[in-house]
Amino acid sequence: MNTFTVTENFFSDDILNNIISKYSLWNPSKDLYIDGWYDSPNKDNPKQICCQDLSQNDRLLLIEFLYTSDKSIFKNFKPIKNASFKLVKAKPGYVLNEHEDQCIGSLTVFTDPAPKQDTDGAAFYVENGVKKLVNYKYNTAIQWKSLSGDLEINPPHGSIVNTTDRFTLQMFVSNNAGGFAYSSGNRYNM
């Protein structure tokens, strides 16, 4: 089974300073609160997680980076043109249960430069029945790509509860530019 790839120091300083930094903060006029994922323990606290869309120009710059960078598993991967991006912002106490997504590719990048303690806000994925922990470290990417180039279910993954604010860039690649992720049988517009 295809598994996740973890890459530290993923984005260039230019992308971090000119794109990511402007989204990795609370922005009440642009943050869209979501009612929690359907299978999430957070569903009773809808103000715990929100998303902010990236501008079309920033989306295109990130796609160019992913298509050309040696750090990207999406290098020269034509379906990347259908990537959709959101900056997901979670307040303390948020956790994303173990789940699977149906997509062509996915990317999570930790975007908050504030240091985290131990496993605070960490992510995990399951490989051969074993949970692999990815501690929250600024500019660390967790990438997954379909080997067939078509929609596939990626391995189980999720997050550890965070005790401080948690900001992550989320990307999904689908068959269309609108981007849909099917997570544990539920559909979420991206």
Alpha carbon separation from 43 to 12, 106, 185, 186, 187 (Å, rounded): 35, 23, 16, 14, 15
Q: Which residues of 4-24 are buried (b: 16+ CB within 10 A; e: fewer)?
A: bebbeebbeeebbeebbeebb
Confidence (pLDDT) at 130: 92
Write out the two tokens for 37: 């994922």
Q: CA torsion angle for 143, 148, 151, 154 (degrees, to 10)?
A: -40
CA distance 139 to 91: 19
Taking Cα atoms as reference points, which of 13, 51, 15 lies closest to residue 33? 51
Contact 163, 92 (CB under 8 A): yes
| Angle at CA of residue 159, ends 130 and 86, nearest 5° | 130
Write out the two tokens for 102: 């149906």
Confidence (pLDDT) at 49: 82
pLDDT tens string for the chain (190 positions)? 578 999 999 999 999 999 999 998 888 888 887 654 544 555 555 567 888 999 999 999 999 999 999 999 999 999 999 999 999 998 888 888 888 888 999 999 999 988 888 788 899 999 998 999 999 999 999 999 998 888 888 999 998 888 889 999 999 998 865 445 555 544 333 3
Confidence (pLDDT) at 45: 59
Confidence (pLDDT) at 41: 54
Q: Report pTM.
A: 0.88
Domains and CATH numbers, the chain: 5-35+58-185 (2.60.120.620)
CA distance 72 to 161: 27
Contact 40, 93 (CB under 8 A): no
